[in-house]
Amino acid sequence: MRLSASRLGYSSQRGGGGSSMRLIIGVVIAIISIISYVASREYNPVTGENQYLSITAEQEIALGQQSAPEMVQEFGGLSPDDQAQSLVDDIGYNIVNNSVAHTTPWEFEFSVLDDPQTINAFALPGGPVFITSGLLAQLSTEDEVAGVLSHEIVHVLARHSAQQLASSQLTNGLIGAVGVASGDANAAQTAAVIGQLVNMRYGRGDEIQSDTLGVCLMIASGYNPEGMIRVMEVLEAAGGGSGQPEFFSTHPNPENRIAQIQAAIENAPTQCASYQ
Ligand SMILES: [Zn+2]
């Protein structure tokens, strides 16, 4: 009896040893996730902020270019309207060439998407910027188009996608760690990065930064920054249905945003000095 009890004890300890080994591996993966996240700290000269990134600028550009066809496919393909495309190119490159954007490594490219039903604009990491024909049709001045494009350009300059990706990789690392610890290896699979980028939602802080630094880019390139306020009003009027505009995906309160843009315009003489 004593022997079998001790054997039982031994074998149950062996079982316990296996699960605690999995637990240790899980903890190690979690620690590696956190360390690689913290070690990825990088200074962004455009925003003046430190951020946590898991990819290099080169990888970021490649990722955006690889994801672009999927974005185009998801929103009706490229617009056949050459006039609309050249208007967006003119305004987009005008902003890039006359602002801090031209001092950065990002490879900007502007595309009109042939989707009249969707009122939206997007930016992929490293430079590709998209505006739907549906949103373009709602805008009546070049200043308003410049408002939309400036906002998207700031998402690229501030590396908001790469930042989101780094924090979701941290999350994936932690989810993977839980999967290993529970003995379910499949749970350790990471999500498809491209799908994640195409469906990216930025946080409130990222949107405010894109609005306010967008104001600086507009001024630097000779557009009336009031155009950004007009964009908010247009989107507010168009919003409310399904398919919330990217601009409002994380902002239920456009009045607050307009107030922030107004403050950014008032503070532009001091706040925008480094964005010329
Ligand atoms: Zn945005």
CA of 236 to the centre of ligand 1 (A): 14
Say how far apart CA 272 and CA 85 lie, in whole Å: 29
How many Å lie between the centroid of ligand 1 and the Cα of residue 202? 7
pLDDT of 9? 42
Per-residue pLDDT of the chain (276 residues; tens, 9 = 90+): 444 444 444 444 444 567 787 777 777 777 776 666 666 778 888 888 888 777 788 888 988 888 898 889 989 999 999 999 999 999 999 999 999 999 999 999 999 999 998 888 999 999 999 999 999 999 999 999 999 999 999 999 999 988 887 777 666 665 555 555 555 444 333 335 566 666 667 888 888 899 999 999 999 999 999 999 999 888 878 765 444 555 655 555 666 788 999 999 999 988 887 766
Tell how far the Cα of 39 is from the centroid of ligand 1, in angstroms: 27
DSSP class per residue in 52-84 = E-SS-HHHHHHHHHHHHHHHHHHTTSB-S-HHH
The two tokens of residue 86 are 């050249």
DSSP H helical ranges for the chain: 2-39, 57-74, 82-97, 133-138, 142-157, 160-181, 193-198, 204-220, 226-238, 254-266, 268-271
Q: The whole model's pTM is what? A: 0.78
Sign of CA dihedral 206, 207, 211, 214: positive
**What is the DSSP secondary structure assignment for residue 112, as one 8-state letter?**
E
Distance 187 CA to ligand 1 centre (A): 31
Gap from CA of 40 to ligand 1 centroid (Å): 24
